[in-house]
Chains A and B, each alone.
Chain A
Amino acid sequence: MTAENDISQLQRIASQIRRDILRMVHAVQSGHPGGSLGCADFFTALYFNIMNHNPAFNMDGQGEDIFFLSNGHISPVFYSALAHSGYFPVAELATFRKLNTRLQGHPATHEHLPGVRVASGSLGQGMSVAIGAALAKKLNNDNSIVYSLHGDGELNEGQNWEALMFAAHHKVDNIISTIDYNHQQIDGTTDQVMSLGNLKAKLESFGWTVLEMNGNDMQEIINTMGRAKAYCNHGKPIAVMMKTIMSYPIDFMMDSHKWHGVAPNNEQLEKALSQLEETLGDY
């Protein structure tokens, strides 16, 4: 397969994941479509290209790359990516947020859903956990990489800054933490609610190698994450500031915090789905 075909195949997977997100959230009239849609390309790239991972799930994740979702509310995109990667049946997506499901509103290990290694939802905790897992890999002489994803609004939580300081101080250089830099949070834009200021300068001053990418451009994601991997084991943790558009690419939902945690109604669902090709078959 040529690189170009590879990209187009990844885009086809991302389109299906976006359809899943909308249908999951619509079915229970709850959940978080905005950030999920915005990060669909990233999850597709991560699980279908970047990470060396094993869908025959093992909690310890020894010898494989592992991923932590810190902003757990975008669980729909996580679940769809895991299902299409073979962690559990795609049909199980239909149980999202319903009684007795393994697909809890926010990711959890409690129901033993393969692919999830820690609960998240209460914000700001995932980077610490990812760093702990990265330290364990070092103690185990395991050269694989720990990936994590965080919301930009989530960076309001102080624990992130404890974790950022720690990772640089202890030279945790086998971690790549991506920040969904969509500038939106529940009450408005990040500038309105709690300005992040010069985030790149902040992360660099904390001792991290910082890369930037357009998180809605598959080729750029592949290229940038490839560069991030090459930075591993050079004494510094790696952060990727990923510019995304919330609810991308649904025209009437895009780039507004209003779709952070609101489900589309029947009419809106049809309209949104008409903008996304069904590539792998709806669940």
Chain B
Amino acid sequence: MYTVQNTKATRDGFGDGLFEIGSQNSDVVGLCADLTESLKMNKFKEHFPDRFVQVGIAEANMIGIAAGLTIGGKIPYTGTFANFSTGRVYDQIRQSVAYSGKNVKICASHAGLTLGEDGATHQILEDIGMMRMLPHMVVINPCDYNQTKAATMAIADYFGPVYLRFGRPAVPNFTAPDQKFEIGKALHLIEGKDVSIFATGHLVWKAIEAQDELAKLGISAEVINIHTIKPLDEDAVLASVTKTRCVVTAEEHQRNGGLGDAIAQLLARKLPLPIEMVAVNDSFGESGKPDELMKKYGLDTPDIITAVHKVLQRR
């Protein structure tokens, strides 16, 4: 049903999206903490040198400067690794951005285990949780290159703080190249009736692969892409679960605080039904190749299939 157009990193989608929105909107300013190439911000930097700010390895300062730029009507996009975009600067984001209601776009690459060989110091698996807890923070984790590019451009038109999370490795690029990105709108990728699989980020493609395998076993799985974890598209989640009566969530993040947590909270309040979570279970990562890590930590396609079997038994 979905064909892979190519494999490309979501961070490339960010870099290309930033360049394109920067071409359209002269208020867009890019800030980077000494990771311009890693964040794919080079093109923006070369074309708009006056609107590119090299901050050096000083992420706290970068967040504060971004907050200040909004006071002159600018739309700052900060770029660094997800670990340094969140955990390292939580209080700066909390006070100078979120509590102050500033229009800062916190753009975070190399999220999760797929950062790979650098290991657990850099593999943040708590960022969605931290950002979700901040009042009025929007949290977005797109699934492929095309969607990341669309999201990067769309957040310029939304006034308020946004956390945009993406990753390092080349992954299947399968969504429409010229899609319109709507913040907070869950995307029904595949209709099904036996189980709802809600996935975000890199796990969306794996959920599609799992659905394919499950279909061969006669299990009809519904696959929904939750690119915006906050605000959660509650209507879409509840509508799907009302039909299927059981849920699997899948994400490259800790079970605590992530997408599964958000959906479980919603279901507990409004529609208590069985849920299984494909996520890292209270553990740090380690060095290794992205695919090896996803397998070892239970975030691969077979893990989604196993979770579906488990939740169907509980239904």
Contacts and interface: CB of A to CB of B under 8 A. Distances in A.
Interface of A: 59-62, 66, 68, 108-110, 117-122, 124-137, 139-140, 142, 158-159, 162-163, 165-166, 169-170
Given A118-B100, A119-B99, A135 B53 contact: yes
A127 B58 CA distance: 13
Given A118-B96, A120-B95, A159-B92, A128 B64 contact: yes
A159 B64 contact: yes
Interface in B51-76: 51, 53, 55-56, 58, 60-74, 76
A188 B73 CA distance: 41
A169 B57 CA distance: 13
B99 to A, nearest CB: 5
Contacts of B65: 128-129, 131-132, 135, 163, 166
Contacts of A133: 68-69, 71-72
B91 interface: yes
A132 B100 contact: no
Given A125-B64, A127-B64, A166-B58, A119 B100 contact: yes
Contact of B68 (A62, A120, A132, A159): A132
A137 B72 contact: yes
Given A125-B64, A128-B60, A109 B101 contact: yes
B29 interface: yes
A162 to B, nearest CB: 4
A122 B61 contact: no
B50 interface: yes
Contacts of A126: 64
Given A108-B99, A135-B65, 4 more contacts: A60-B71, A124-B60, A133-B72, A136-B69
Contact of B61 (A61, A142, A159): A159
Interface residues of B, number: 32
A131 B74 CA distance: 13
A142 B72 CA distance: 10
B99 A131 contact: no
Contacts of B61: 128, 131, 159, 162-163, 166
Nearest to A170: B53
Contacts of A135: 53, 65, 68-69, 72
Contact of A110 (B60, B71, B96, B101): B101
A59 B73 CA distance: 9
A60 B62 CA distance: 19
Nearest to B59: A162
Interface string B256-276: 000000000000000000000
Nearest to B68: A132
22 contacts: A59-B71, A60-B73, A109-B101, A117-B71, A120-B95, A122-B95, A125-B64, A128-B62, A128-B63, A129-B65, A129-B67, A130-B68, A132-B64, A132-B67, A132-B76, A135-B65, A136-B68, A136-B70, A158-B60, A162-B58, A162-B61, A166-B65
Nearest to A107: B100
B51 A139 contact: yes
A109 to B, nearest CB: 5
Contact of B71 (A118, A124, A169): A118
Contacts of B63: 128
Given A109-B101, A165-B56, A62 B64 contact: no
Contacts of B99: 108-110, 119
A120 B67 CA distance: 12
B20 to A, nearest CB: 20
B88 to A, nearest CB: 11
A163 B55 CA distance: 9
A165 B58 contact: yes
A127 B95 CA distance: 14
B36 to A, nearest CB: 16
A137 B67 CA distance: 13
